[in-house]
A and B are shown apart, each in its own frame.
Chain A
Amino acid sequence: MSVLSLLIFSLPIMTGILIAHLLWMDKNNPIELLFKLSLGTGLGLGVSSLLYYIYLLIFPGSPYFIFVELALFSMILAVVYFKYEPVTYVSALRLNMNFLQIVILLVAGVIVASSFLGMVAYSRQRAHGDWDAWMIFNRSARFIYRGQETWQDAFSKDMNVMFHADYPPLLALNIASRWDILNKETTYVPMYLGFLFSLASLGLSFGALANLKSTGQGALSLILLGGVGLFLGEGGRQTADVPLAFYVLASITFLFFYYHEKRALLMAFAGVTAGLAAWTKNEGIFFMFASAGVLFFASLWSRSLRDLLFFGAGLFIPLILLFHFKSQVAPSSEFLSGGMDAIRHSVMDITRHQLIFGAFKGFFLHGGGWYHIGIYLILGAYLLLFYARSRDKSRAILIGFAILAIQVMGYYGFYLISPYNLEWHVAYSLNRLFVHIYPATVFVVMAATQAPETVFSSNQDL
């Protein structure tokens, strides 16, 4: 069952890889293929989740979803076939790396392998995931799979508020659809889903930076992602934090490629992945609005709404489905349960501001890094010391930082209006909120700074 549970993901993943391949048919060296594999993994799982939602609305309780996935895969395969251009043996395998790049890549490989094996060991002891997994995502998946025609009970208004029935359903739908195809409920499925999103985040960051900057810079991002306890440790918990971090990273990566290659389709895919972030977790909905808001102001600055329109076009289908889910299926959010008076009272309460600000400051200075020095503080200092002016990336860097900064401000706002005991809520969730933006922050910082190849170059002028 363990191997079959992994193989069952192959159809959506191959569909995603083909979509990524269609976007960059000329990129075929091993690192570029790894990039497409990683991006395609998350894209495919996201598309599969959206598709399963539509399928459940039309054919609830019907066990033929695999044929829908097969049809989509065949269609995209046909498009790839007709657009196929022969790749020479030399270009497919060409990968020139110098000694420094090999060393950094080996170090990154050791870190990623040890952290990943640690995550596997953790998962073996917690096959059902952690508290939030039983409470929200795996519970919803059980309702959908076991409930069949009554799958919407997963998001019932009767459910106690602690089960967060209003949470977007990407993870639960992914799990339930695999169980449905396997015709068996197995803990391997959510476990592998966590592994896939974790590895895809690493591969995406490495591959994108290797494309946009250098192989050494990509490998350094792997060291920063795998070599801190903050990120990879979350992958074994079976919660939506790492999948959300993947889509935040993917959306910002697409923005960078758009400003690099000036192809409108890439901006549309920044919208698709922002939409998938919203389909993953409520914090992703804020990310979607933060991205759209920043792009709106960037459009005003450049006096052209073209970028925003393409972003909106990509966002369209996930947003329509999310609107349907939130308005027709899920109960209202507990954050709005107290009404406007309670929210106004919370916003005006100075002690709440003090508590939240203190927690944010504490995390920034001391959280998630090494020897009690915060990883975000380390990244900030790294940015200052290694900053490299780059004309072709400056706009993407500015937009990337603006989106991430607004996301952090949004988290501050969420806490401010939180209906829970604030001290408990902050202590329980602050780390995980910063996990959502960690891979994207590492990516933008690495995109804005000098690569190891430059730093270790013997050229005195550099």
Chain B
Amino acid sequence: MWKKYLQRIIIAVIAILGVKTGLESFISNINSHGNDTVVVATWNERLLNLIDPIPFERGVVGYISNKDIPGASYDADDASGEYILTQYAIAPLILIRGTKQEWNILNLDPETYRNWLQANSSDFEIVNFGGGMYLARKVNK
């Protein structure tokens, strides 16, 4: 008989804990104010403007960020996140790390960009889209 009472108590406890967790999940989600929707939508819009001059809609585009420049400082999570968001935004163009392609997206902070430009200015035509984003077209292949 004790087992039956224990079983009844356990079912009741599971039900109570389930209600508690369900309500807590609801309240915590209602009260959280994540802005991911805006961040991703803004990134998409910026990138669509940036790739507008590229004359093809399908193919391969290069990409570099601070992570690809020796000595430049960067946050690893941000660097990965921005790379992923860029690929997400410019699909169906395929994004490949490096600047070996004719068209390349540069995502660099001002100082890193200046250093990169010193070494590469003769090879690329560059359009500055602001916010550290540049479109670089290789002129010397």
Give A residues with C-beta under 8 Å from B: 104, 107-108, 110-115, 117-119, 121-122, 124-128, 131, 134-135, 138-139, 142-143, 146-147, 150, 153-154, 156, 158-160, 162-163, 187, 220, 223-224, 226-229, 232-233, 370, 382, 385-386, 450, 452, 455-456, 460, 462
Contacts and interface: CB of A to CB of B under 8 A. Distances in A.
Given A125-B36, A147-B58, A159-B94, A112 B7 contact: no
B81 A131 contact: yes
14 contacts: A111-B18, A115-B21, A122-B29, A131-B84, A139-B87, A139-B91, A147-B92, A150-B58, A153-B58, A220-B14, A224-B18, A227-B14, A385-B7, A455-B11
Contact of A111 (B19, B27, B91, B97): B19
B91 A386 contact: no
Contacts of B19: 107, 110-111, 114, 227
A450 B7 contact: yes
A113 B8 CA distance: 24
Contacts of B40: 127-128, 134
A118 B26 contact: yes
Given A153-B92, A382-B10, A386-B7, A124 B22 contact: no
Given A121-B30, A125-B34, A228 B10 contact: no
Contact of B96 (A108, A127, A158): A158
Interface in B1-60: 1, 3-4, 6-8, 10-11, 14-15, 17-19, 21-23, 25-30, 32-37, 40-41, 57-58, 60
Contacts of B113: none
Contacts of A114: 19, 22-23, 25-26
Contacts of A370: 17, 21
Nearest to B7: A455
A143 B92 CA distance: 5
Contacts of A134: 40, 84-85, 88
A121 B31 CA distance: 9
A96 B133 CA distance: 65
A142 B91 contact: yes
A118 B35 contact: no
B1 A126 contact: no
Classify chain B's interface size: 35 or more
B88 A138 contact: yes
B33 A125 contact: yes
B100 to A, nearest CB: 12
Contacts of A142: 88, 91-92
A214 to B, nearest CB: 13
A227 B84 contact: no
A58 to B, nearest CB: 20
A147 B34 CA distance: 31
B3 A227 contact: no
Most A Cβ at <10 Å: residue of B14, B30, B41, B97: B14
Contacts of B120: none
A182 B25 CA distance: 33
B80 interface: yes
Given A115-B22, A158-B94, A107 B7 contact: no
Contacts of A126: 34, 36-37
Given A128-B40, A460-B1, A227 B29 contact: no
A228 B41 CA distance: 31
A313 to B, nearest CB: 37
B135 interface: no
B10 A385 contact: yes
A110 B7 contact: no
Contacts, number: 147
A128 B22 contact: no
A118 B29 contact: yes
Contacts of B7: 385-386, 450, 455
Interface string B64-102: 000000000000000011011101100110111100000
Nearest to B85: A134
Contacts of A163: 84, 87
B36 A223 contact: no
B6 A146 contact: no
Given A126-B36, A146-B92, A227 B4 contact: no
A156 B94 contact: yes
Contacts of A147: 58, 91-92
B21 A228 contact: yes
B110 to A, nearest CB: 26
B4 to A, nearest CB: 7
Nearest to A460: B1
Contact of B60 (A124, A158, A227, A385): A158
A233 B24 CA distance: 12
A61 B86 CA distance: 24
A139 B91 CA distance: 7
Contacts of B26: 114-115, 117-118, 121
Given A117-B26, A118-B30, A160-B95, 18 more contacts: A110-B19, A111-B18, A114-B19, A115-B22, A118-B26, A121-B30, A125-B35, A134-B85, A139-B84, A142-B91, A147-B91, A159-B94, A162-B83, A223-B14, A224-B14, A227-B21, A386-B7, A455-B4
Nearest to A103: B15
Contact of A118 (B3, B17, B28): B28
B49 to A, nearest CB: 16
Interface centre among B58, B83, B91 (most CB of A within 10 A): B91
A2 to B, nearest CB: 14
